[in-house]
A and B are shown apart, each in its own frame.
Chain A
Amino acid sequence: MISYQSIEINEKKSYGQLLDSCCISDKHIDSMVVDFLGKYLGDLISKVIIEWPYYDQDYLSIYYIHYSKKFKNYPKYCYRLHFISRRGEYCGCTVLRPIIIGKKMGKTYIKPELLLKERAYLVRGEYNVHIEGMEELVDAFPWMMQDTDITTCAHIAVWSVLRYYGSRFVNYSCPTLGEIVENVHEEWGRKTPSVGLTPIQVSEILSRYGFYPIIRGGNKNKTDLLLEETFAYIESGIPIIAMCESKQHAFSVIGHGEIKKDILDNDEYVNKIREPETNIILHSKLINSIYVMDDNCFPYRRVDKYIDSESDVPYSMYEISYVVVPLYARMQLEYHEVYNRFIGLVKYGGMKWEGTRIVRIYLTSSDLLKNYAKLQENMSSILKNIIIHLNMSKYVWCIDTSDVEEYKEGKVSGKVIIDATAGTKDGEPWLLMHDKGEVRFYDVLKDTNEIIKNINIEPYAEYAHNLDCIEVYNKEEMR
């Protein structure tokens, strides 16, 4: 019979009850689990429900291909802990696996609101959890620890990204950890036990699950460009796998932190981040942190551009050496190609984007873009009508431009929409572009470029559908 046992949490030390042998077998829990829960969830949680036994498909998948072959006895079953907040909300769950000390936390879905210290912009999916005949929903991003024997940090990063896609989009599968391990292409050595994955192996695994991944990085002179590119894909709502050569580590990047608009008031800083000749400042230059799911740390850790001994993780954004981006088949044009085209457009395209302008580059689906345009109250009706009725590729690159004041108010006064299926050498990938007085667009049925001049386009709200803006719970209120 499946048992559910509750323990009350009044303070951080209350998690110590989990170590009591009548709660959880000592093969499934250690003091690290208790320390992690106490430190990160603390007294925001009022109750932990212990479910036993729990058949975890990810643990079982590695149990059958690895742990069942060991001389020592490894149980098949896991425990699952469910967390209930002080408001009585269901906040998520974590699986406890009977493996080595320090690596016992398995598949975990926890609401990010509990764990953030400031506003963040994250990708997340919706996960169903069944508990005592009830179905609970958790908005989260998947996380687990590596077991070090069969799975390493890179396997877990791949698993978390694939699990996210599998749960959010019907055309992607939801492979178990064991399937991912089996799908590693290993030419020289054995797959298990594993000593880690290269960016190429990560890319190959993603290809096997229907993605068209790209690998970027590998040149420390171009770290700035790598970060710009990373931000563009994060802004597109695409979780990516990052690899850090100096720490021999991999993790998934799932969002970014606060946008520091006040930096725009610092002339010395603006001089350094403004692009020469075009006067544009990339929106990514105003963001100093990303959020990662790192199997060595608790979920939703902030990684800063500049770190010190107070930081959550022992590496900075600048230490990322490679990123593997899982793109959809119809996302063919890469960020750097879009960026270079745009620079050419700013210099020679004849659009009136004057003065210092902040530019945000991202991918989105044409359906979401049309939906966004439809909901804009301040958007010029002519522009709105064109965007809603324009024939577009399934995915498009968008470039939003604003002057400094518009940007501070979250508004946009120029937009470029680019066909994401355009070829590298395609000279005319533009589907639409506008400034404050002119719209140009491409009509695919007539194969002509149309221009509407002398209209008045007021600034309208920026596009914000790709990432969830997550506000932190008021922790004092919760206590």
Chain B
Amino acid sequence: MINGNEMIAEDYDRLSDYLLTCIGHEKADEVTIKSLIGSCAEFDGAGISKSSMVFPNPVNPKESVSLKFSNVKFSLRLAFDIILLNPVKPPSDKNEMLMFMIRVLKLAFGEMVKILDEDMANVLQAIYMLSYDNHGATMEKIIEYCRKYNMQAESMERVIYNLENIKCIELVEGEYKLAETVILNLKNVDIKRGI
């Protein structure tokens, strides 16, 4: 549906294509990524009016493309279930998917997340794996879990501070828990047309 200079998109394929275009994914399986997005993304209010993508001129394919997806509700815990609980996939594949997920978050929250992808992935993975039986992960347990990644306590605290800021994790009674959902606002990102 084209409206002046805007092309309104409510469908999942376009969001998947957009993320695949913006984020490097050489080793990750595109079918898995599209399924992950189809499983976890939810367009607020039937999508059409809330989530949009903007094309300057669809007739001229060489122009850069400006895309906008706003208020996309993303089930973060479900995404981690899908990525980390897969009993069939080898750890390297899980890691690729996890890194893709981290880049989606960094794309959505931009300057708010000034930390290394690997550090963010390690801490989120620690919090996810250590949370069960209605309990979250204490700072001590996270430090213990992340020791195998050679992370310093200081950098871990900085990562946790950043993740709390973007509301990917929350502190409840001294324990960190992964947020059930995050709201992604992927606004006006200029990319070369490839969609």
Contacts and interface: CB of A to CB of B under 8 A. Distances in A.
B85 interface: yes
Contact of B132 (A271, A315, A319): A271
Given A220-B78, A266-B87, A247 B38 contact: yes
Contact of A318 (B11, B42, B82, B132): B82
B87 A260 contact: yes
B126 interface: no
A314 B36 CA distance: 11
A67 B193 CA distance: 42
Contacts of A268: 129
Interface size class of B (residues with CB under 8 A): 20 to 34
Interface stretch (A189-197, A202-210, A305-313): A305-313
Nearest to B132: A271
B122 interface: no
A224 interface: yes
B64 interface: no
A65 interface: no
A350 interface: no
Contacts of A311: 31
B29 interface: yes
A223 interface: yes
B144 interface: no
Contacts of B82: 305-306, 316, 318
Given A306-B89, A315-B38, A223 B75 contact: yes
Interface residues of A, number: 31
A244 to B, nearest CB: 8
Interface string A309-348: 1010011101100000000000000000000000000000
A306 B88 contact: yes
Contact of B85 (A220, A248, A272): A272
A221 B75 contact: yes
B133 to A, nearest CB: 4
A91 B100 CA distance: 46
Most chain B beta-carbon neighbours within 10 Å: one of A220, A244, A305: A220
Given A246-B39, A260-B87, A306-B89, A318 B78 contact: yes
A274 interface: yes
B37 to A, nearest CB: 8
Contacts of B134: 276-277
A266 B87 CA distance: 10
Given A308-B29, A309-B30, A288 B73 contact: no
Contacts of B86: 305-306
B120 to A, nearest CB: 21
A376 B134 CA distance: 39
Contact of A223 (B11, B37, B39): B39
Contacts of B35: 307, 314-316, 318-319
Contacts of A271: 132-133
B87 A220 contact: no
B70 interface: no
Contact of B42 (A220, A266, A315, A316): A220
Interface of B: 11-12, 29-32, 34-35, 37-42, 73, 75, 78, 81-82, 85-89, 129, 132-134, 180-181
30 contacts: A220-B75, A221-B180, A244-B38, A245-B12, A246-B37, A246-B39, A247-B38, A266-B87, A268-B129, A269-B87, A271-B132, A272-B85, A272-B132, A274-B133, A276-B133, A277-B133, A277-B134, A288-B88, A306-B86, A307-B31, A307-B32, A308-B31, A308-B32, A308-B89, A309-B29, A309-B32, A314-B34, A315-B38, A316-B35, A316-B82
Given A221-B75, A271-B132, 14 more contacts: A221-B180, A223-B39, A223-B75, A223-B78, A246-B38, A272-B129, A272-B132, A277-B133, A306-B88, A308-B89, A311-B31, A318-B78, A318-B82, A319-B39
